[in-house]
Amino acid sequence: MKNNTHPENYRPVVFEDIASGAHFLIGSTVHTTETIKWEDGKEYPKYVVEISSKSHPFYTGEDRTLDKAGRVERFKQRAAKKK
């Protein structure tokens, strides 16, 4: 294998899918600030993603709507009406 093919900060990172709760351990260079303990007992950097193959409708076959911004706006509108 060739030397120096990967960047300096290439390391295993745990990606957490917030839509399904799934976790993936993948090599990456993404910048992270959090860490998580993995199944092997080691601690790895953690990066949160909104959607992955475990929650995307194309891969799961489910018809889901991921409308986070819309939910927040509707909540703000309801709160404003009550005031």
User: 66 pLDDT exceeds 60?
Assistant: no
Single pTM value for the model: 0.63
The residue ranges of every structural domain in the chain are 11-82
The phi, psi pair for 28, rounded to 5°, reads -160, 165
- Check residues 59 and 44 and name the one with the higher pLDDT: 44
In the prediction, which pLDDT does 61 show?
64
User: 19 pLDDT exceeds 70?
Assistant: yes
In the prediction, which pLDDT does 41 show?
93
8-state DSSP, 48: E
Could you tell me what percent of the chain has a pLDDT over 70?
78
CA 37, 38, 42, 48 dihedral sign is negative
